[in-house]
């Protein structure tokens, strides 16, 4: 069979890192099912970019190196940007391999590419003034203060459980590898990229410097979808539809909402911070930057059905 390109719409899909398990073994098993749902979209002719979270995975890498360093005195500490890049590599390896295998199984003559991605952030982003995102292993106060002196990293006490490194969560500004991703995407590859929002970097003239920070992966996906003028941004979560009055007797699912309605619900406190709120905010950033596009929030299992308009919550400008 000749190599095929997608003939339908272009879609950026954002997968949650928690959906990929907590160990490489769990992840390998889970991505086999994930790949089936992604290839359901590919089978309908859709051109797909897959982005993903990396919270559990980058935490595992950080903890492993910290433990080894503390116990053998030989293993080096792993800087946070490098740990992020490592997580992108092995998550992307699993995802691209599983998607490629599933396409071959169905006789779909397309291929995959995994791009370890850097995302530019600005040094003057207000998030850097007060880092709040805990990462890595728990330490005693004495250990944390010593590490802070040795590395210049910031440590804070975490809910009475010990001290942990904290990093900022700045706004993504530009994806360094955008041109490469676009070329692969337009050539028909299923591209896996921007894992964990991308490795945060400062841009100095023509050089880049990794910075310990965490970028919201949904915001990076939204920025990329707007930059590429993708037809849809699809954010996959644990529920089929966004709801108001969630968990109450009068809970109501939302089929469609425009930006004004979404902002009203946000003002009412309808969406939980750290859960649905950042997903809705990312969708707003996308449709307001590219009003011709539509955003979809739904579950992984219903992704293909959602693209057909059969389920999920659609957000428009």
DSSP per residue, 95-149: HHHHHHHHHHHHT----EEEE--EEE--TT-GGGGS--EEEEEEE-HHHHHHHHH
Q: What is the pLDDT of residue 77?
A: 81
Is 241 designated active site?
no
Is 171 designated active site?
no
Query: What are the pLDDT tens digits along the chain (317 aa)?
Result: 445 665 678 999 999 866 787 788 888 888 999 999 999 999 988 999 999 998 888 888 888 888 888 888 788 888 889 999 999 999 999 999 999 999 999 999 999 999 999 999 999 999 999 888 877 777 888 888 988 888 888 888 877 788 888 889 999 999 999 999 999 998 889 999 999 999 999 999 889 999 999 999 999 999 999 999 999 999 998 899 999 998 899 999 999 999 999 999 999 999 988 789 999 999 999 999 999 999 999 998 898 889 889 999 999 99
Q: What is the pLDDT of residue 164?
A: 84
Is 229 designated active site?
no
Q: What is the pLDDT of residue 281?
A: 96
Query: Among the options 17, 197, 198, 312, which is catalytic?
Result: 17
Q: What is the pLDDT of residue 18?
A: 67
Query: Among the options 147, 241, 279, 302, which is catalytic?
Result: 279
Q: What is the pLDDT of residue 257?
A: 96
> Can you say how many angstroms the Cα of residue 33 is from the centroid of all Cα atoms in its chain?
18
Is 279 designated active site?
yes
Query: Among the options 6, 47, 53, 217, which is catalytic?
Result: 217
Query: Among the options 5, 18, 89, 309, which is catalytic?
Result: 18
List of E strands, the chain: 10-15, 47-52, 112-115, 118-120, 133-139, 155-157, 163-167, 174-175, 190-193, 199-204, 207-210, 232-237, 243-244, 252-253, 256-258, 294-299, 313-316
CA gap 44, 108 in Å, rounded: 11
User: What is 10-119+176-263+271-316's CATH number?
Assistant: 3.40.1160.10
Query: Among the options 133, 156, 162, 188, which is catalytic?
Result: 133
Is 18 designated active site?
yes
CA gap 210, 122 in Å, rounded: 12
């Amino acid at each position: 069979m000749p190599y095929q390109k997608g003939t339908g719409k272009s879609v950026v899909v954002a997968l949650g890192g928690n959906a990929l398990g907590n160990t490489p073994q769990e992840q390998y098993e889970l991505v086999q099912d994930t790949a089936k749902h992604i290839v359901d979209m590919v089978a309908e002719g859709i051109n797909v970019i897959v982005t993903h979270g990396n919270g559990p995975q980058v935490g595992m890498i950080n903890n492993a190196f910290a433990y080894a360093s503390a116990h053998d005195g030989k293993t080096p500490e792993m800087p946070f940007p490098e740990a992020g890049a490592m997580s992108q590599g092995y998550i992307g390896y699993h995802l691209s391999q599983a998607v490629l295998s599933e396409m071959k199984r169905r006789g779909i003559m397309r291929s995959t590419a995994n791009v370890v991605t850097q995302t530019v952030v600005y040094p003057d982003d207000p998030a850097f003034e007060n880092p709040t995102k805990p990462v890595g292993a728990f330490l005693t106060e004495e250990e944390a203060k010593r590490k802070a002196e040795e590395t210049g990293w910031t440590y804070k006490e975490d809910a009475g459980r010990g001290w942990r490194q904290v990093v900022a969560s700045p706004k993504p500004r530009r994806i360094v590898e955008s041109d490469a991703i676009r070329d692969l995407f337009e050539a028909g590859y299923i591209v896996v990229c921007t894992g964990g929002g991308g490795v945060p970097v400062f841009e100095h003239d023509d050089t880049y410097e990794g910075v310990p920070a965490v970028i919201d992966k949904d915001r990076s996906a939204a920025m990329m979808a707007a930059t590429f003028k993708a037809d849809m941004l699809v954010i996959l979560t644990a529920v089929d539809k966004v709801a108001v009055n969630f968990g109450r007797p009068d809970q109501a699912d939302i089929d469609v909402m425009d930006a004004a309605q979404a902002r009203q619900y946000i003002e009412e406190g309808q969406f939980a911070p750290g859960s649905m709120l950042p997903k809705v905010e990312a969708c707003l950033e996308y449709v307001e930057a590219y009003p011709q596009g539509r955003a979809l929030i739904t579950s992984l299992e219903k992704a293909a059905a959602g693209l057909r308009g059969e389920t999920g919550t659609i957000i428009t400008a």
